[in-house]
Amino acid sequence: MDEEKPDGEPKTGDPTVESVGVPAAKPAAPPPPPPAPSRPDRGRASSPDLSEPREPLYRDARGYRLMLDPGDLAKLRELPGSKGKTDRELGEQFFDGQGDRLVGAISDDVPPPAEVRVVVDPYSRQVFLAVGRAIRGIVSF
């Protein structure tokens, strides 16, 4: 027989008493993402004068075709004296000053005609001359 408390309620631990759980609260939905910031330049036509085409720069020298990729042209901005010049102007200036040295560095190893990619490292002030997938020369500038 079940024992009862003096006030008439069954004792705790009594198997006839079922624990009634409070229904679990549903997790709150995540807040909506914040709106994208407004862009004042949207709706305006961009000026063609402000953007420079991203194309490689080529220079033919003594049967070799030297090429600076857009990324390597951009690296020339790290050099002193580059302020206020476009990437193309910097590349032309670089080829004017270094073109003969670049060709001279590979002329004994690579017969013309050949396309030579000029890879710029502005921090070590070196260029790597690549023909295909192989580095064929290194020139400090």
- Listing from the earlier edge strand, what are the strands of the sheet with 57-61? 57-61, 64-68, 114-121, 126-131, 134-140
**Minimum mean pLDDT among 27-31, 37-41, 76-80: which range?**
37-41
Q: How confident is the model at residue 11, as a pLDDT? A: 56
pLDDT score recorded for residue 5: 53
**Which of the two residues, 138 and 50, has the higher pLDDT score?**
138
E strands in 1-97: 57-61, 64-68
Q: Say yes or no to pLDDT of 12 above 80.
A: no
H helix intervals, the chain = 70-75, 87-106
pLDDT number for residue 14: 52
In which band, very low, low, confident or very high, does the pLDDT at 48 lie, cut at 50, 70 and 90?
Answer: very low
- pLDDT of 50 reads 42
Whole-prediction pTM value? 0.62
Distance separating alpha carbons of residues 73 and 57, to the nearest angstrom? 8
Q: Does residue 133 register a pLDDT over 90?
A: yes
- pLDDT recorded at residue 54: 84
Phi-psi region of 90 (alpha: psi -120 to 50; beta: other; left: phi over 0): alpha
